[in-house]
Structure 1
Amino acid sequence: MKFSQASVLALLLPAASARFVEESESDRVILFPEGMPVVAKDMTKYHIELAPGEQRWVTEDQKWELRRAGKRFFDITDNADLGTLRARSATKAVFPKKPTQQKELNPLLGNLSKSEMESHLTTFTSFHTRYYKSDYGRQSSEWLLAQVRDTIKAAGADKHVSAAHFKHPWGQNSIIATIPGKTNATVVIGAHQDSINLWLPSILAAPGADDDGSGTVTILEAFRVILQSPEIVKGEHPNTLEFHWYSAEEGGLLGSQAIFSSYEKVGRNIKAMLQQDMTGHVARTLEAGKVESVGVIVDYVDPSLTEFIKKIIVEYCDIPFVETKCGYACSDHASASKAGYPSAFVIESAFEYSDNHIHSTEDLIKYLSFDHMLQHARMTLAFGYELAFTDFEALEKKGRVEMGDL
């Protein structure tokens, strides 16, 4: 006889606990008066895309089975048209040939703090889970927004810089912090705030220290320090900066799809997007006898932006990079790419040496290196600052001249 996960758990849990199996679970537990759990199968279907042109309808339980098997996908149930509006209008991305902001950046880099990241991550992982359909997920998002707003206020930037929820119907909202520049040309830095335990997500603990608590606090620290620049706070940089903390990445890039779909529909001018997902685990790299490095993703990304990020790492980080691949729809940068915006992704290591504790109760701070996270913070800060002051219009005009279009 084959038992579902929820029915097995219900037999193991006391009746008083069984009611905490939420209706959003693929198997719904119903308590009858005598306290005997009965499992009702939720057969709601979701439309997913596992590769370009490879789509299927699956139940939520099948989504988690695919995730446990290492398969990544877009859940396109509500975003099937993402990318269709910009399919013909997207232009070739052009980025600086080399970094140029060393004089301004080097003092800022010294202000990045491991203790700030550790403090934030300690609280962030104290939520039982950050599963996007759970109330814990809602609470953790509210807490995170408060930290972002406190960071803005502490910098004295609250008259110019803002942060707000981007609302979703599932409970946990995404967060967008905006540092306006002189133009609406925008550079986005992102991480995802949700966590998941792939065995009964609404019940089991998912501290999500590395996936993606590490990325969340890494970009929060870069955000804190970039606001120490008077030029940035005053809006003297040409390009607007946005920091995104996405909801529901684990459910199929749902939060980032919703955001970039909205940007595509209103014609937002997004010049670049960098994703930071898992920035803290280096132990498996060292155990394999490899040199500590950051992993630059080279599949399903913008090649020109990726080359620029390599130059940022060489210039501003103390460790090298390795090229690596993560597959289709492997993190939120994929939503930006699908919408026609240049995107890139840098992870903690070569993909094969990334953290193997994720999606479980064991994704804990003790397996992370804050020294390594500091390198990601250096790269993130430098990326944002350099591109905030980039004259994209001049670069693009020069590129068109060189191609003979003018």
Structure 2
Amino acid sequence: MKKYFFFLLILFSAVSDELTVTYFANTISIENLQKHLSFLASDSLRGRLTGSKEQKIAAEYLAKYFQENGLKAIVTQNTSDSSFFQSFYIKKYFGGQHSIMLNPTNKMRRAKNVIATENVIGFLEGTDKKDEVLVISAHYDHIGTKNGTVFNGADDDGSGTVAMMEMARVFSEAKKQGKSPRRSILFIAFAGEEYGLLGSEYYTEKPVIPLKNTICDLNIDMVGRIDDFHTNQKDYIYLIGSDKISQELHELSERNNELFTKLTLDYSYNSESHPQQLYYRSDHYNFAKNKIPIIFYFDGEHPDYHQPTDDVDKIDFELLKKRTQLVFYTAWEIANREGALK
């Protein structure tokens, strides 16, 4: 009889957990995704080129959003005051190459070929496992303008940025309602991705929380469109890297999709032999090379990639919501499960 009641208790707990995560996942809002993307990918932000005044306007927008949604500012750089901004400097070389500057002097920072920029970081503290940290990331920079034409980057990577923003809001709301994640979550909007993953490179060289405490990075880079391979089956997402470091992460991801979102998970780009080599081409890679498990969420390349036609009116917001929910379900389990990923 005791075993029977124990079984019922476990079953009730599992059902209760599913109802809780589903409730919060369903609060992910198309209206919010549209509102934030319409601003970040507007002509007024002129393509959010790293180091531009418009990129800094986007950074301020993100920081204000994090603050309004109860995330903590935990960056301290040469000051005792905490900030949402992790400032760093990029050196530009003849020929268009760029590199981060890890310890520039004041004189080096003032050089004409140096770009000042910032990652935007918001922290949500966990409960009994708060020293373990899940990173949810996206890059908010794009390629700016060319010959007066604006490259808005609605999909690349405005879509990933607003997906991250919505998850920050929902996790914060869950915490307010007494459903705080057990592990802490760090939401990072990277700059400098288009110059060679430089914001994430700087972060992993100078993390605000030690990398040894970082258990996973879920990186979202282009999740608002449909590529030519899926015109007849749009409920899909490409997953890259989920099985490279942690098989348990891969299985967890598959299980959550099967249970909740039921998207087609396409692993075509995950192949080591794929010519695009996308595993090495977004911000997750700087975590992966430090042996931190990652998943890269991606919608595939389309004709508007790095074109001035990558605009908000081409985003499928219903699909963006569903893909955001997939990341959210995966993040929820990682943040709340008993054991660390293996």
- After TM superposition, the score normalised by the length of structure 2 is 0.75
The correspondence for 1:339, drawn from 290, 315, 318, is: 290
Gaps of 5+ in 2: 1-13, 75-81, 90-114, 270-275
Give 1:204 deviation, angstroms.
Answer: 4.2
Corresponding residue of 2:321 = 374
**Alpha-carbon distance in structure 2 between the residues aligned to 1:292 and 1:236:** 30
- After superposition, the Cα gap between the structure-2 partners of 1:279 and 1:100, relative to the gap in structure 1 and judged at 3 Å, is farther
**Alpha-carbon distance in structure 2 between the residues aligned to 1:267 and 1:209:** 31
Q: Which amino acid aligns with 1:344?
A: I
Give 1:355 deviation, angstroms.
Answer: 2.6
Corresponding residue of 1:130 = 48
Q: Is the 8 A contact 1:112 1:374 kept in 2?
A: yes
- After superposition, the Cα gap between the structure-2 partners of 1:300 and 1:205, relative to the gap in structure 1 and judged at 3 Å, is farther
Residues 263-289 of structure 1: per-residue CA shift (max 9 Å, x gap): 3994541111111100100263443x3
Corresponding residue of 1:72 = none
Secondary structure of the equivalent of 1:392? coil
Residues 41-62 of structure 1: per-residue CA shift (max 9 Å, x gap): xxxxxxxxxxxxxxxxxxxxxx
The correspondence for 2:141, drawn from 194, 197, 212, is: 194
**Alpha-carbon distance in structure 1 between the residues aligned to 2:191 and 2:222:** 15
- After superposition, the Cα gap between the structure-2 partners of 1:267 and 1:346, relative to the gap in structure 1 and judged at 3 Å, is closer
**Alpha-carbon distance in structure 2 between the residues aligned to 1:317 and 1:205:** 35
| Identity score, percent | 21
Give 1:334 deviation, angstroms.
Answer: 0.4
Give 1:100 deviation, angstroms.
Answer: 9.1
Give 1:247 deviation, angstroms.
Answer: 0.5
Q: Is the 8 A contact 1:192 1:212 kept in 2?
A: yes
**Alpha-carbon distance in structure 1 between the residues aligned to 2:310 and 2:293:** 31
Corresponding residue of 2:201 = 257
- After superposition, the Cα gap between the structure-2 partners of 1:342 and 1:283, relative to the gap in structure 1 and judged at 3 Å, is closer
Highest Rg: 1 or 2?
A: 1
Q: Is the 8 A contact 2:151 2:306 kept in 1?
A: yes
Q: Is the 8 A contact 2:73 2:121 kept in 1?
A: no
**Alpha-carbon distance in structure 1 between the residues aligned to 2:209 and 2:38:** 38
Corresponding residue of 2:164 = 219
The correspondence for 1:110, drawn from 15, 20, 26, is: 26
Alignment of 1:69-148 (within 5 A): 101-126=17-42, 127-148=45-66
Q: Across the two proteins, how many residue pairs are aligned to each other?
A: 285
The correspondence for 1:306, drawn from 250, 254, 259, is: 250
Give 1:356 deviation, angstroms.
Answer: 2.4
Corresponding residue of 2:77 = none
Q: Which moved more, 1:246-255 or 1:291-300?
A: 291-300
**Alpha-carbon distance in structure 1 between the residues aligned to 2:54 and 2:142:** 10
**Alpha-carbon distance in structure 2 between the residues aligned to 1:365 and 1:340:** 35
Q: Which amino acid aligns with 1:210?
A: D
- After TM superposition, the score normalised by the length of structure 1 is 0.64
Q: Is the 8 A contact 1:198 1:360 kept in 2?
A: no
Give 1:240 deviation, angstroms.
Answer: 0.9
**Alpha-carbon distance in structure 2 between the residues aligned to 1:211 and 1:130:** 11
Secondary structure of the equivalent of 1:129? helix
Give 1:108 deviation, angstroms.
Answer: 0.8
Residues 287-321 of structure 1: per-residue CA shift (max 9 Å, x gap): 3x345311111489435223322222222214221
- After superposition, the Cα gap between the structure-2 partners of 1:317 and 1:299, relative to the gap in structure 1 and judged at 3 Å, is closer
Say if 2:192 is the partner of 1:245: no
Give 1:385 deviation, angstroms.
Answer: 1.5
Give 1:364 deviation, angstroms.
Answer: 0.4
Higher helix proportion, which one?
Answer: 2
- After superposition, the Cα gap between the structure-2 partners of 1:111 and 1:299, relative to the gap in structure 1 and judged at 3 Å, is closer
**Alpha carbon RMSD of aligned pairs, Å?**
2.9
